[in-house]
Amino acid sequence: MAIHIRDATDRDLPGIIEIERLAFPAPWTMASFQRELTLPFSRIMVALPAASHAHGQDDNGKIAGFLCRWLIADECHVLNIAVHPESRRLGIGTVLLTEAIAEARSTCASVVTLEVRRSNLSARQLYRKFEFEERRLRRHYYGPGEDAIIMELQLN
Ligand SMILES: CC(C)(COP(=O)(O)OP(=O)(O)OC[C@H]1O[C@@H](n2cnc3c(N)ncnc32)[C@H](O)[C@@H]1OP(=O)(O)O)[C@@H](O)C(=O)NCCC(=O)NCCS
């Protein structure tokens, strides 16, 4: 599937929120995404089917996935990544992560970091494909029995 990536705007927030709610048991609120759009070191990128972009249509509402990252000093931290359940396993998560890593490299960041639920085997598998390493465990980070694994990808 051909995918187009662009930066999110306010108009994308309803589509982002819909995916967020389908993806996570404790979803981010609209206010938290709005805040990210105002932070200079934060970027939310959205993935859309390339066709809607190429034909110059209003691509609003066709968001298939998004990624939110912070770029601070030499570290890119991926705070959030999700793909609509109907569009999973089509390579969209891969395209989003590829873009975030390429951007981090181009700004001379030395590391990409993220946290993932220990039980989230699909996400862990995705990150492993990119050669992220599982560095540390934060016990009960997401609640009782839900540990976080801190993963890192060294860029140099
Ligand atoms: C994790 C997530 C973003 C992956 O997005 P995606 O677009 O489906 O991922 P891709 O199609 O690019 O998959 C890339 C690779 O990840 C791994 N992967 C993805 N989904 C998987 C699954 N359900 N089971 C096992 N491996 C999986 C595979 O290695 C896959 O490669 P393959 O399809 O060639 O085998 C998506 O499953 C999602 O939105 N999950 C809910 C939100 C979430 O958990 N986000 C991560 C928080 S840390």
By most ligand atoms within 8 Å of CB, the mutation choice from 1, 78, 87, 89 for ligand 1 is 89
| Parallel, antiparallel or unpaired: strands 3-7 and 111-117 | unpaired
Minimum CA distance residue for ligand 1 atom 35: 89
pLDDT greater than 70 at residue 57 = no
Q: What are the tens digits of pLDDT across the range 2-52?
A: 999 999 999 999 999 999 999 999 999 999 999 999 999 999 999 999 876
Residue 90 in contact with ligand 1 by CB distance below 6 A: yes
Helix ranges restricted to H, 47-112: 50-54, 92-106
Does the predicted TM-score (pTM) go above 0.75? Answer: yes
Residue 116 in contact with ligand 1 by CB distance below 6 A: yes
Q: What are the chain's domains?
A: 3-154 (3.40.630.30)
Tell me the chain's radius of gyration from C-alpha atoms.
Answer: 15
